């Protein structure tokens, strides 16, 4: 191996190590809210909008990507899906809440609500709310069409009719719920 190739390989090794360290520290110091949001988004993709039924057309960018260079499509809801059977597209905004605040689920800010309402005129927008439990396995999941929502906060008695019914627990989720024991909070 010639000297130039060795130097170049060492340079790229150092560059990869540097990028790995940066990624490690970004992940290490990521705010808890972002981690919970990402986990709930993963839950939705695995349990509700499954790959065999829905194609993922678009997903908004994460905090770190937008921090470097803001990406305008981040103003859209979290996902754009296409149902495979009907070929219809729709947006989904994912919101996880550990519990109610003042007896309601506050799912967005007013300016976001207006932006989603405007977008809903073009393509349907659904709000997916995970409530209670853990973000990867919420106690309840609600899928609410934006056309049915009038406010940026929702009462539980309104949400009940939009609950996503699914077998919630597998062995690991059952054990994790016992460890966290959410009922005693």
Count of domains for the chain: 2
Residue 173 and residue 126 share a domain: yes
What order of strands is seen across the sheet that includes strand 54-59?
54-59, 79-83, 89-97, 125-134, 137-145
- Best CA proximity match to 149, nearest among 178, 108, 89: 108
Residue 83 DSSP symbol: E
Mark whether 59 and 10 lie in a shared domain.
no
What percent of the chain lies above the pLDDT cut of 70? Answer: 82
User: Model confidence over 131-157: pLDDT tens digits?
Assistant: 999 999 999 999 999 999 999 999 999
Residue 2 structural domain: 1-30
> Both tokens of residue 138?
């919420």
Please tell me whether residues 43 and 19 are part of one structural domain: no
114 shares its domain with 157: yes
At residue 111, the pLDDT reads: 94
Question: Domain check: are 40 and 93 in the same one?
Answer: yes
CA 64 to chain centre: 15
| Mean pLDDT within 73-102 | 92
On whether both 78 and 101 belong to a single domain, the answer is: yes
Within this chain, do residues 132 and 88 fall inside the same structural domain, yes or no?
yes
pTM: 0.78
- My answer on whether 154 and 93 are in the same domain is yes
Using alpha carbons, list the distances in angstroms from residue 53 to 18, 49, 87, 132.
40, 7, 10, 26
Q: Give the pLDDT score at 43.
A: 93
Domain CATH for 150: 3.40.1350.10
**Given 3-state DSSP classes, what are the helix, strand and coil percentages for the chain, each rounded to the nearest 5?**
45, 25, 30
If asked whether residues 1 and 89 sit together in one domain, one would say: no
Same domain membership, residue 90 and residue 74: yes
Give tens-digit pLDDT for 67-87: 565 666 668 899 999 999 999
Based on the fold, state whether residues 8 and 59 are members of the same structural domain: no
C-beta of residue 74 within 8 angstroms of C-beta of residue 84: no
Strand residue runs (E) in the chain: 54-59, 79-83, 89-97, 105-106, 125-134, 137-145, 153-154
Between 183 and 143, where is the model more confident? 143
Domain shared by 4 and 25, yes or no: yes
């Amino acid at each position: 191996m010639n000297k130039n190739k060795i130097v170049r390989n060492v340079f790229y090794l150092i560059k990869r190590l540097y990028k790995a360290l940066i990624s490690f520290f970004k992940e290490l110091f990521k705010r808890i809210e972002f981690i919970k949001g990402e986990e709930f988004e993963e839950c939705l993709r695995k349990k509700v909008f499954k790959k065999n039924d829905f194609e993922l057309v678009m997903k908004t960018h994460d905090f770190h990507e937008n921090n470097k260079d803001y990406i305008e499509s981040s103003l859209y809801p979290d996902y754009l899906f296409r149902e495979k059977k009907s070929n219809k597209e729709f947006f989904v905004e994912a919101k996880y809440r550990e519990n109610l605040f003042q007896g309601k689920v506050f799912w967005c800010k007013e300016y976001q609500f207006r932006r989603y309402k405007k977008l809903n005129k073009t393509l349907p927008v659904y709000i997916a709310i995970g409530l209670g439990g853990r973000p990867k396995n919420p106690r309840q999941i609600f899928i609410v069409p934006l056309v049915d929502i009038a406010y940026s906060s929702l009462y539980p008695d309104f949400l009940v009719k939009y609950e996503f019914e699914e077998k919630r627990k597998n062995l690991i989720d059952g054990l994790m719920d016992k460890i966290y024991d959410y009922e005693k909070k």
